[in-house]
Amino acid sequence: MIPDFFISFDTEKLPFEEVDFLIVGGGIAGITAALQLKNFRTVVLYKNGLSGTSTYNAQGGIAVAMAPWDSPEKHKKDTLITGCGLSSPESVDILVNEGIERIKEIISSGLAFDRDGNRYHFTREGGHSCRRILHIDGDSTGKAVANFLYKKALAEKNIKIFHSHFLIDLINKDNRIEFALVYDEKKKRVFVIRAKAFILATGGAGNIFQETTNPSVITGDGIATAYRCGAELIDLEFYQFHPTTFYQAGAPRFLISESVRGEGGILRNSKGERFMFNYHPMGELAPRDIVTRAIVDQMKATGSNCVYLDLKEIKDDLKKRFPSIYNFCMNYGIDIEKEYIPVRPSAHYFMGGIKTDINGRTSIENFFACGEAACTGVHGANRLASNSLLEGLVFGTRTGISAMEEIGRKFIKSRYRYAFPQKADILIDKEDLKRSIRSLMWRNVGIEREEITLKNAEGKITEWMKYAFLKEFPDTTGFETLNMLILALLITKASSIRKESRGAHFRKDYPEQDDKNWRKHIVIKKDGVEYKEV
């Protein structure tokens, strides 16, 4: 049903570019990897631009054990607890220890984090046992980090950055990637990039769901492309829903950073009652999956479509500490110094993705992945708040260094041709199909799942695929739509297979965590499903 490639092509008849390394995605992980490869011909592709990355839009900060009261051991323990038994202790150990060195490096190269007097100001977020989150300009950490790294990459003569370029397909020959098919949206042309190694850092897939904090271009393209070219995917059932995103009809689902609760923000239901301590002893600072389900429970119990954040207990100047949140809410008529912020959960972060080792290597020889598109085993079943930017720095560095080992590879002259097997002259409204996918996934494969809704979703997606893959879509919207269909089906299948509740995956029909039968990973690839013991 799923074709090997999205378009017909002949590599000898297409414009051609040869480089040492191709990196798809320019958030913190992709740009960090590129900076390791600055001495070689390296190309970074942006589907949209820097502002379309999840890094740029990240608010809270970077978790790192640099405070005098903290330690890597404490950070590791918090990460493992939040991961609910599926995190890799080796990967977490690398994260919390090498993370300190990566942060020191980026500080020494000129990035300035917020200070409280002569010391760095650390905040606290859900799941953390102490204050360990560094931040910049209050709640604009991601934007500052993204701009800083981007400028560094621009200054390197060997790094070329292409905007408005879409990865259509990767061509796999004998378990090595030979070519990438790329669509230049501005010139409306397809061309070929040949490289010695390929790195995917394309982020998550939030826009598979109706409500998400992700930029609109984050549609799971890299992960779906990796699957189609034969790479292994893992932990696809674990999608994290952020508990607090701004909720008003017609307004975007703007993230209200977890740091707000870390500084003293209180969650209240529509009756004005505080409720989180009824669900967890850490109250508002419980892990995200617990807070998310508590909010859903309160909305059901009170018949409301949201709950509220009360910031009146926060002693800091809210305009200074959370300027982005303050200004956004004011634009919608809410003064957060005096009024509650209406919030509800939205899809936020993909714990699963392309299966890699600790150096970004996938199951295909010269193919690497890092950042949210990859699954290193750090996050397990639930990501600890503000570990994502740290992961991008740590494993982006490792991936770049590991990819460098492919520099001695010799190119062999080869030609690849493909004829799209099915071409139908049928009308398909791609945007309508996208909306249908997002609505279905939100209702049936969202925060709470069960067999009947999962099977219904799988049936619907399979039905849509029967006609969606009959036609070539030679544009970005078409490619996105097909990738969304593929990944939606895989997430749904993985969610149906895991018959337990663990971390961000909650099954109403299997509400308990089952370590006896399910303390293992689900690995999905083109030729079937495998299980990997923890």
pLDDT digits (tens, 9 = 90+) for 91-123: 999 999 999 999 999 999 999 999 999 999 999
- Domain positions in the chain are 10-238+351-408, 245-345, 420-510
Which residues, 6 or more positions from 444, have their beta carbon under 8 angstroms from its beta carbon? 453, 454, 456, 457, 492
Whose tokens are 């408005």? That residue is: 164
The token pair at 343 is 């919030």
Residues 195/198/204/207 CA torsion (nearest 10 deg) = 30
* Angstrom distance (rounded) from CA 452 to CA 203: 30
* Angstrom distance (rounded) from CA 447 to CA 349: 13
Q: How many CB atoms lie within 10 A of CB 427?
A: 6
Per DSSP, the residues of 255-271 read: B--HHHHHTT-EEE-TT
* Angstrom distance (rounded) from CA 356 to CA 284: 33
Catalytic residue from among 124, 228, 261, 288 = 288
Residue 498 annotated among the catalytic residues of the structure: no
- Equal CATH topology for 245-345 and 420-510: no
pLDDT at residue 1 tops 80: no
* Angstrom distance (rounded) from CA 141 to CA 177: 35
Give the residue among 114, 126, 154, 514 at the shortest CA–CA distance from 322.
Answer: 114
**Please, are residues 261 and 520 in contact by the beta-carbon 8 Å criterion?**
no
pLDDT digits (tens, 9 = 90+) for 168-204: 999 999 999 999 999 999 999 999 999 999 999 999 9
The mean predicted confidence, pLDDT, of the chain is 96
According to the CATH classification, is domain 10-238+351-408 in 3.50.50.60? yes
For 245-345, CATH gives: 3.90.700.10
3-state SS class at 277: helix
* Angstrom distance (rounded) from CA 380 to CA 504: 10
Whose tokens are 């509800």? That residue is: 344
pLDDT at residue 479 tops 90: yes
* Angstrom distance (rounded) from CA 324 to CA 499: 40
Per-residue pLDDT, averaged over 259-275, amounts to 96
pLDDT digits (tens, 9 = 90+) for 25-49: 999 999 999 999 999 999 999 999 9
Per DSSP, the residues of 386-397 read: T-HHHHHHHHHH
* Angstrom distance (rounded) from CA 118 to CA 297: 43
The residue count for the chain: 534
* Angstrom distance (rounded) from CA 521 to CA 83: 12
Q: What is the CA radius of gyration of the chain?
A: 22
Which CATH architecture best describes the domain 420-510? Up-down Bundle (1.20)
* Angstrom distance (rounded) from CA 372 to CA 214: 12
